[in-house]
Amino acid sequence: MSRYIVRRLLLALVTLWALATLGFLLVEAIPGDPARQLAGPTASLETVEAIRHAYGFDRPAWDRYVSTLERYGHFDLGYSFSRSENARSVIARDVGHTLTLTLFAFVGELLIGIPLAVLVTSRKGRLADGSLVAAAGATTAIPTFLVGLLLLYVFAFRLGWFPLGGTTEGWRSYVLPVLTTAIPYGLVLARILRTSMLDELEKPYVQFALARGERMGRIRWRNVLPNSLVPLFSLLALDFAGLFASVAVVEIVFSIPGVGSDLFAAIRRLDTSLIIGVALVAGLVVVTVNLLADLAVIAIDPRVRRTTLG
């Protein structure tokens, strides 16, 4: 068991290293004076020189690379000139909002998707099937931020049920942003899960459970659903990563101070430290979630347990 975890952790580290290297290469690739880029257009010449020295732009590239990696190893992500503080503190402050939104969106996705899928696969739910496909298609044919704008327009602007943005009103501030991503993702999950469940329902263990006297409802929830979900775990992990990215855009629409809005502000100002910082954090989240998904599959499916761990 531990050998498997070690291997996966190594893979995670390698991924992060690749991200960091990519970030480094991109900074190198930006045309113009990198020290000036990092310092920002309004910094004085002394500041620029100081940065040039601090970041080693006056040294050969390899040296810079190694010291950059070292810095990242110590969680020193550099200085964000657009925010006038260390990138690390900006991210640490704002990542909470983003993660909260993502987590709630994920839970929301499950709460919407799973019951819908179960409903649609039951005998009475056949009519709803077509509407599900249509609804899923409609919500994914438009970009996420438009869904957000729509919700904002109707429920906040017109009806006034929820605030127009910000995080000032406690849980109410989070409802619309969470729904913006949870609904499209949830509908897609419902479609995929429905297909998986329809496949599972054909399997003989359903028939045999009925033969023992079980009721269909119980079989659906206790046996079919878990079996249908297992092949979807890696998909759910990808969903989480996707949610994380979507949430970043949603933050802008709803003016929520998370790392997403930080990122896009940083992109506009070409604040590379912050850009790379957020990139690394995002990569870390994705890698962690993938690892958790793989572990979950092992925990739940005894057949995989046997093949993976021996």
Residue 303 has which token pair? 């057949």
Q: Would you count residue 18 as binding other proteins (CB under 8 A)?
A: yes
- Contact partners, residue 27, CB within 8 Å, separation at least 6: 34, 37, 38, 272, 276
Q: How far is CA 307 from CA 12, 124, 256, 289, 294, in A?
A: 22, 39, 45, 22, 13
Residue 195 has which token pair? 């297909």
**Distance between CA atoms of 139 and 113, rounded to whole angstroms?**
14
**Distance between CA atoms of 133 and 156, rounded to whole angstroms?**
28
Of 30, 69, 154, 309, the one binding other proteins (CB under 8 A) is 30
**Sole window of 45-53, 71-79, 105-113, 236-244 interacting with other proteins (rule: CB under 8 A):** 236-244
Q: Which of residues 188-227 bind other proteins (CB under 8 A)?
A: 203-205, 207-215, 223, 226-227
Of 117, 132, 135, 248, the one binding other proteins (CB under 8 A) is 248
**Distance between CA atoms of 4 and 120, rounded to whole angstroms?**
38
At 99, the amino acid letter reads: L
Q: Which is nearer to other proteins, 50 or 209 (CB)?
A: 209
Q: Would you count residue 296 as binding other proteins (CB under 8 A)?
A: no
Of 66, 69, 111, 146, the one binding other proteins (CB under 8 A) is 146
Q: Which is nearer to other proteins, 56 or 242 (CB)?
A: 242
Containing 86, the helix (H) or strand (E) segment is: strand 85-86
SS3 255: coil
**Sole window of 22-30, 71-79, 87-95, 105-113 interacting with other proteins (rule: CB under 8 A):** 22-30
Q: Would you count residue 32 as binding other proteins (CB under 8 A)?
A: no
Which residue in the block uniquely carries the two structure tokens 């347990």?
305
Which residue in the block uniquely carries the two structure tokens 């599959």?
297
Residue 304 Cβ vs other proteins, minimum distance, rounded to whole Å: 10
Residue 211 Cβ vs other proteins, minimum distance, rounded to whole Å: 4
At residue 32, φ and ψ (nearest 5 deg) are 100, -170
**Distance between CA atoms of 201 and 118, rounded to whole angstroms?**
11
Of 153, 169, 199, 217, the one binding other proteins (CB under 8 A) is 153
Q: List residues near other proteins by CB under 8 A.
A: 11, 14-15, 18-19, 22-23, 26, 29-31, 123, 137-138, 140-146, 149, 153, 157, 203-205, 207-215, 223, 226-227, 230, 238, 241, 244-245, 248-249, 252, 263-264, 267-268, 270, 275, 278-279, 282-283, 286-287, 290, 300-303, 306
